[in-house]
Structure 1
Amino acid sequence: MTGRRVLFVTNDFPPRAGGIQAFVHGLAAGRPPETVTVYAPRWHGSEAFDRRQPFTVVRHPGRLMLPVPQVARRAAALVAEHGCETVVFGAAAPLGLIAPALRAAGASRIVMLTHGHEGSWASTPGARGVLARIGRHADVVTYLGAYTRRRLARVIPEAKLVRLAPGVDAEVFRPGAGGVEVRKRLGIGDRPVVVCVSRLVPRKGQDMLVRAWPAVLRAVPDAVLLLVGGGPIRARLERAARALGESVRITGSVPWGSLPSYYDAGDVFAMPCRTRLGGIDVEGLGIVYLEASATGLPVVAGSSGGAPDAVRPGETGVVVDGTSPARIAEALVALLSDPAAARAMGARGRAWIAEEWTWRHVNARFARLL
């Protein structure tokens, strides 16, 4: 017997890039492949990606799955067709609402992963009731860290809450993962580089990095800010960075498999995330900090939500007020001005990943949940 058959029902799955996508894929990849079926939306490049997976991936025809009868029927059919005893929702809200239909189809155990947005739902009138309803259908609801647990415990019975944070593949995210080639391609050479790998949205703080950058340049004139990712504020960032010339580079979206080389192109990683919209828009953890640490970079993280759980302040990185360009600049200048100390911090971060955040640790915890 190789293990329980598991159906992952998720909107978040590669080749779409993102922290949740990497998390869910890592959990699926850590199971015996003959026991795994994934039901996820179609995305650009998904056919080629799916052919490379050792497990079965079934794609929904659209780019978004909602808790509607059509999706419930298709997921229920997969439970029955593949004999899945356990269903894992890649994000509890909102797809967890279809859990009763999957129990009726034969699933005996329901595991729901949560991220930052479920923590926000727990604090929002109306959404709070929906999340409580979702939680009633679950056997296990996971949380990322202390911050998200406190919020979820307002509406989810504590007996159901179990910590499960993402892992990092330290063989993929590592020093020497291709950064030299990225620097050569971008014409950066040996200049000091602050890199941010993330979707370009206000919460992530790329706009604050651009605002902080003139102060960084006054102290480190040849520094480069490398923003990797696409998103709705890209045009705004490009306008704001125009006066800074070639010292700010915005790549747009890059292939999922190329991300390690972009981390490796940096000397410092920074994503000064901030909480927005009265606490609704908040960072759940920030796997990018862990990936950067695995690559041997010191990290500058924002103080939003659970982001500080991904940093050992003073050892692997620095936590700053993501609403303050002055504080962000101060942290970046300190790291760029002392490369030896920055490298030592990055080395401690990589060692921390090996001790606590590898997929071996995460998959062992996940197996117990199943």
Structure 2
Amino acid sequence: MTVLVVTNDFPPRQGGIETFVRSLCDELPDVVVYTSHEQGDTAYDATLPFPVIRDRTSMLLPTARTTKRAVELMRTYDADRVLFGAAAPLGLMGSALRKAGARRIVAMTHGHETWWAGVPGARQALRRIGDAADTLTTVSSWCEEQIKPALSPAAAARVRRLTPGVDTHRFAPDCGGEQVRKGLRLEGVPVVVCVSRLIRRKGQDTLIRAWPRVQESAPGATLLLVGGGPDRDYLEELAASTGVSESVVFTGPVPWPDIPPYIDAADVFAMPCRTRRFGLEPEALGIVTLEASATGKPVIVGDSGGAADTVRHGGTGYLVDPYNPVPTAVRITELLTEPARARAMGEAGREWVRRDWSWARSGDGLRNLLEV
């Protein structure tokens, strides 16, 4: 029962979906991956315990050539199960792969399929994808609510939740934060960490605008922004104009394997993510928030899309209005100045993630859907 994984979202490309798809491959007993070309992929693929076939292009599209290649791989590897790493648009190949012998087809949806569900033309394409698959999966309750109305009644009835997991061995208390603090000269000061690409949707600008209020109650507090992205110049200018440049530290891009110690360096993890572009650009889930909880940190997350699924408000952290820096500052200050409460939330978050967000649980769910 070999599973052919067809996806554009695969390492060495970095991102939440890439991590999700790659980790699920480890949960399948026999897998082959068909994916796009990426710089550095030859060296990366050589480390994997399963075959990876790279297309000559940097983006797979559901063209006749790509479909033909996927069918050839099904036959070469005797694959009768298909997993689309992201349903749109590659799931449009589902009918052809079914005719070629696919017995079970699972198509994963993430954030971008929610706007497909609301746009004419794309909505009809998503309906076709749902009809061709045995199951469409969603990463959050919010995504499910957005996607189901675009599907046929039969396909909507087959929608199932499939969430990413968290490696609670890698993301754990005392996994290297002290060394990160020492290297950045942040020893002995309150630290709030945000790990994400530097883009407007992630809300780093809200944190910077909140920072003067935070420092009034927590003098010396430092905001550590981990990651690279197109908004770095904008955020540096904002920090300067707000008068907090000296207390905002930019690390630049950090490889995903090196991320846990940066989260562990935090007293509080904060990512006030928000929905943009008239609802077409939401936060589908936000796995990094759960990774922070697994590391034993209290979390503050913006109320966008499915992000609410990653925090138990008042239990593991807080959900805040991502467009208003005042409540964000209030919650950060509360956690920095009440360490017992922050510690209790972090401990509750780690226990919750260990219980309900394991990769073993996600793997069981996927294997059942694929009937492997």
User: TM-score by structure 2 length?
Assistant: 0.94
- Out of 135, 139, 144, the residue aligned to residue 144 of structure 1 is 139
Offset, 1:76? 2.0
- Out of 17, 20, 36, the residue aligned to residue 20 of structure 1 is 17
Q: Deviations over 1:314-366 (max 9, x none)?
A: 11110001111111111111111112211110110000011111111111111
- Out of 231, 234, 238, the residue aligned to residue 236 of structure 1 is 234
**Equivalent residue letter for 2:173:** P
Aligned counterpart, 1:175: 173
Offset, 1:234? 1.8
CA distance in 2, matches of 1:95, 1:132: 13
Q: Deviations over 1:55-101 (max 9, x none)?
A: 11222233322222332222222111111111101110111112233
CA distance in 1, matches of 2:291, 2:42: 26
| 1:189-208 → structure 2 map (5 Å cutoff) | 189-208=187-206
CA distance in 1, matches of 2:313, 2:228: 29
Aligned counterpart, 1:79: 74
Alignment of 1:166 onto 2:164: yes
Q: How many aligned positions are there?
A: 365
Higher mean alpha-carbon deviation, 184-193 vs 268-277, is at 184-193
Offset, 1:117? 1.3
Whether the aligned pair in 1 keeps the contact of 2:236 and 2:245 (CA below 8 Å) is: no
CA distance in 2, matches of 1:165, 1:29: 15
Task: Sort the Cα spacing of 1:210 and 1:359 in 2 relative to 1 into closer, same or farther, 3 A.
Answer: same
- Out of 59, 67, 70, the residue aligned to residue 62 of structure 2 is 67
Q: Residue 69 of structure 2 aligns to a residue in which SS?
A: helix
Higher mean alpha-carbon deviation, 129-138 vs 287-296, is at 129-138
Aligned counterpart, 1:7: 4
| Structure 1: 5+ residue stretches without partners | none
Whether the aligned pair in 2 keeps the contact of 1:168 and 1:290 (CA below 8 Å) is: yes
Q: Deviations over 1:260-310 (max 9, x none)?
A: 111111111111111111110111111111111111111101111110011
**Equivalent residue letter for 2:249:** R
**Equivalent residue letter for 1:188:** L
Q: Deviations over 1:114-167 (max 9, x none)?
A: 111112221223321121122121110001222111111102232220111111
Whether the aligned pair in 2 keeps the contact of 1:143 and 1:149 (CA below 8 Å) is: yes
Whether the aligned pair in 1 keeps the contact of 2:142 and 2:305 (CA below 8 Å) is: yes
| 1:193-342 → structure 2 map (5 Å cutoff) | 193-242=191-240, 243-342=243-342
Whether the aligned pair in 2 keeps the contact of 1:16 and 1:256 (CA below 8 Å) is: no
Higher mean alpha-carbon deviation, 307-316 vs 238-247, is at 238-247
CA distance in 2, matches of 1:219, 1:66: 52
Question: Post-superposition, which runs of at least 4 consecutive aligned residues in structure 1 deviate over 3 A?
Answer: none
Q: CA RMSD in A?
A: 1.4
CA distance in 2, matches of 1:296, 1:15: 28
**Equivalent residue letter for 1:350:** R
Q: Residue 152 of structure 1 aligns to a residue in which SS?
A: helix
Higher mean alpha-carbon deviation, 38-47 vs 191-200, is at 38-47
Whether the aligned pair in 2 keeps the contact of 1:124 and 1:280 (CA below 8 Å) is: no
